[in-house]
Amino acid sequence: MSNAARQQSSRTGLLAGFVLAALFMLSLFVGVIDVPFHRALADAGALELLLISRLPRTLAALLAGSGLAIAGLIMQTLTRNSYVEPSTAGTAQSAELGVLLVTLLWPSANLFAKSIVATATALLGTSVFLMTAHRLPPTQPFLVPLFGIVYGGVIGAAVTFVAWQADLLQYLSVWTNGDFSGVLRGRYELLWIGAAMLVAAWMIADRLTIMALGRDASIGLGIDYARMLQLGLVIVSVISALSTVVVGMIPFVGLVVPNIVSRLMGDNLRGTLPVVAMSGAILVLGCDILGRLIRYPYEIPVGTVMGCVGGIIFLWLLFRRPAHA
């Protein structure tokens, strides 16, 4: 990395770190039950609330946000297309399919078992999408997201039909609408696997950057292209499947965060990956806090808030394209 790039990267990283830390603290102390800062450690009840609910919720937002942003980044790198993201790759619908199957075939399964099955089907669904998307011509940038929407729509339609017949529609929507209010200690820990995926992504950052130059350039530089593609696929699928299963679908994070960072800092993942991860966490945590405050003491689910905020940012990105987009 050049000096200019490195300086910019560490400055941006520092700033993002500060904002994230501030939001983290804010998130711990914002909610229906008021926990004044000075009582948090003195009062046993307040501490209990922090540890059982607020901290897990905050960590879940952080993990899901950074995970989805990185999943989006890797997806865009591997497909060489800046308009794909986990929420338009059939992931959520495949996860729903898993929940539906396990509920129908094995009604007594516990939450953990259901999560595992949903993760597996989401993984499968996302892999099929990525493998197909990879073959679509790079000259038609909107083909990939369009295909993703149609693909997700087809799986979603099948799921809805079966769920409707089995009277499970309501139950399913609880699983897939992005919402942190149900996150408690013991119900979000699967997301830490996503954190391990972030570490894996960091380790192959250079390879991913090179893969964005195309297959031939990658092979020319001695990269095992097919294997790296599979690894990237696993990282993306696992992160998006887990976050869909644990907190539901949060749209736009994986789309707008990597695009903004790319415009500001470029596409050298060694420098941008930490910034993308932190910005994703900031965006999701910020939207969750916003959702808790707008109609206080009621909550608006993070998926809905992000739908608005992310949508506006995305439109802004589309209409303020740089000259060489």
Using CB under 8 A as the criterion, which residues of the chain lie in contact with other proteins when the complex forms? 1-2, 4-5, 77, 80, 138, 205-207, 209-210, 212-217, 219-224, 262-263, 266-268, 270, 324
Residue with smaller CB distance to other proteins, 58 or 82? 82
CB of 310 to other proteins, least distance (A): 22
CB of 272 to other proteins, least distance (A): 10
Q: Which residue's structure tokens are 């995305």? A: 314
CB of 229 to other proteins, least distance (A): 14
State the Cα–Cα distance between residues 216 and 65, nearest whole angstrom. 33
CB of 205 to other proteins, least distance (A): 8
Taking alpha carbons only, the member of 85, 98, 87 closest to residue 158 is: 98
Residue with smaller CB distance to other proteins, 48 or 206? 206
Residue with smaller CB distance to other proteins, 51 or 264? 264
Could you tell me which residues are beta bridge partners of residue 190? none
DSSP string, 162-206: HHHHTT-HHHHHHHHB---TT--TTSSTTHHHHHHHHHHHHHTHH
CB of 264 to other proteins, least distance (A): 10
Contact criterion met (CB below 8 Å) for 274 and 13: yes
CB of 273 to other proteins, least distance (A): 13
Contact criterion met (CB below 8 Å) for 290 and 305: yes
CB of 100 to other proteins, least distance (A): 39
Contact criterion met (CB below 8 Å) for 145 and 84: yes
Contact criterion met (CB below 8 Å) for 186 and 51: no
Structure tokens at 214: 């195309």
DSSP string, 50-111: IIIIIHHHHHHHHHHHHHHHHHHHHHHHHHT-TT--GGGTTHHHHHHHHHHHHHHH-TT--H
Residue with smaller CB distance to other proteins, 125 or 232? 232
Residue with smaller CB distance to other proteins, 6 or 185? 6
Structure tokens at 282: 């900031």
CB of 148 to other proteins, least distance (A): 19
Residue with smaller CB distance to other proteins, 48 or 224? 224
Taking alpha carbons only, the member of 249, 252, 250, 261 closest to residue 313 is: 252
State the Cα–Cα distance between residues 291 and 297, nearest whole angstrom. 10
Residue with smaller CB distance to other proteins, 167 or 216? 216
Residue with smaller CB distance to other proteins, 20 or 84? 84
